[in-house]
Amino acid sequence: MPQPEPYRWIAKYYDHLFEFRRPFDTAHETIILPLLDQVTSACDLCCGTGTTALNFANLGIPTYAVDLSPEMCRQARAKARKTGLPLKVIQADMRNFKLPHPVDLITCEFDALNHVPRTSDLNRVLRSVHRSLNPGGHFVFDVNNLYAFQQIWNRTWVIDKDPVMMIMRSSHKPGTHKATAAVDWFIRHGKVWKRQHELVNEVCWDPQEMRDALTHAGFDKIRTWDAARFFNDALTLPGCRTFWRARRPPG
């Protein structure tokens, strides 16, 4: 059976519905800003609609943006065309993407790394990132932790913003490291509403497992920040989400 296109509907209405980039900008100030004077090229992995990649490009940094979803890539390309900024969008899987040239900084934001299902997939991502970085380059990402699945992934979210209404039912099966968001979309075409459905699956890793995986892939200078201090909201409790930064050693 053909697989549904990943992130088809979420991609189309992502910027329209999710206007909460501020915590990531705040996190960048602490985690990425101190590196920026050594960054001559960058890549945002799992770039979504390209917002972070375009922020780098806007600083004059030649940037790649990689995502598996054709619709996310379409959205990112359209935004890049509008701005005329130096952004090259590549449709690829984070487990085996290849860049035309290695870069100094790779980011992977908004729990995108939770989307690969197995530890072996996580290891493949980390190897691909390591290979795509220049020596001395950094990988910055954030992940949902088990505590987030336990605390937040048991709710129903409704966002109603014409012409779309989204109902997202998230669930976590106790005793597992897995969570699912079942998303129903109601999209208005004139007076007619059409319904679409998609599933987003996430898997989380223990912090020690992530640290070991990074070390095994060849990274050093591994640092973490709890996301609560950047989000500063009622949902992102301490322990829910972690920002990670790791370096490909120089030389």
Ligand X SMILES: C[S@@+](CC[C@H](N)C(=O)[O-])C[C@H]1O[C@@H](n2cnc3c(N)ncnc32)[C@H](O)[C@@H]1O
Residues that bind ligand X (CB under 6 A): 6-7, 46-48, 67-69, 72, 93-94, 109-112, 115-116
Smallest separation (angstroms) from ligand X to the CB of 34 = 21
Smallest separation (angstroms) from ligand X to the CB of 18 = 7
Smallest separation (angstroms) from ligand X to the CB of 6 = 6
Residue nearest to ligand X (CB): 48
Smallest separation (angstroms) from ligand X to the CB of 120 = 13
Smallest separation (angstroms) from ligand X to the CB of 61 = 17
Q: Between 146 and 203, whose beta carbon lies closer to ligand X?
A: 203
Contact between 243 and 139 under an 8 Å Cβ cutoff? The reply is no
Q: Between 21 and 211, whose beta carbon lies closer to ligand X?
A: 21
Q: Which of 105, 103, 123 is nearest to 113 (CA)?
A: 123
Q: Between 20 and 193, whose beta carbon lies closer to ligand X?
A: 20
Q: Between 104 and 109, whose beta carbon lies closer to ligand X?
A: 109
Distances (CA, A) of 222 to 141, 203, 219, 226: 11, 21, 7, 14
Q: Between 200 and 237, whose beta carbon lies closer to ligand X?
A: 200
